[in-house]
Amino acid sequence: MNAGKICLEPHLDMDALPALAQALRDALAEKAPLSLDGSLVKSINGAALQLLLAATRSAQQAGIPYSWHQPSPALERAVSLLGLNNDLELGDNKE
């Protein structure tokens, strides 16, 4: 795995959160640009979206650029349903 690159699992539910949280902490600790690949996501719950939101905000506060790569339709739909379009900015690269 490349430093700062996280490939999101297909099903991001409560069971997946501990591993995702650790991967995000490790990636942010690298201080390298954070790359989130959402192409495989088929389902995601609100807690996982909250975790991703916290990670992207932490990256912004630390001056770490982050980008989304190929967010799946399921990920885009979940973000939209929860009104997080402006917060998670799936279509924008943040630097």
| Residues paired with 7 in a beta bridge | 37
Please report the pLDDT score of residue 92 as a whole number. Answer: 57
- Note the pLDDT tens digit of each residue in 48-89: 999 999 999 999 999 999 999 999 999 999 999 999 988 998
Please report the pLDDT score of residue 4 as a whole number. Answer: 81
**Residue 94: band (very low, low, confident or very high) from pLDDT cuts 50, 70, 90:** very low
* pTM for the whole structure: 0.89
Residues 6+ apart with CB under 8 A from 72: 38, 39, 40, 41, 42
- Note the pLDDT tens digit of each residue in 17-56: 999 999 999 999 999 999 999 999 999 999 999 999 999 9
Asked whether the predicted pLDDT for residue 1 surpasses 70, the reply is no
Write down the CATH superfamily of domain 5-88: STAS domain (3.30.750.24)
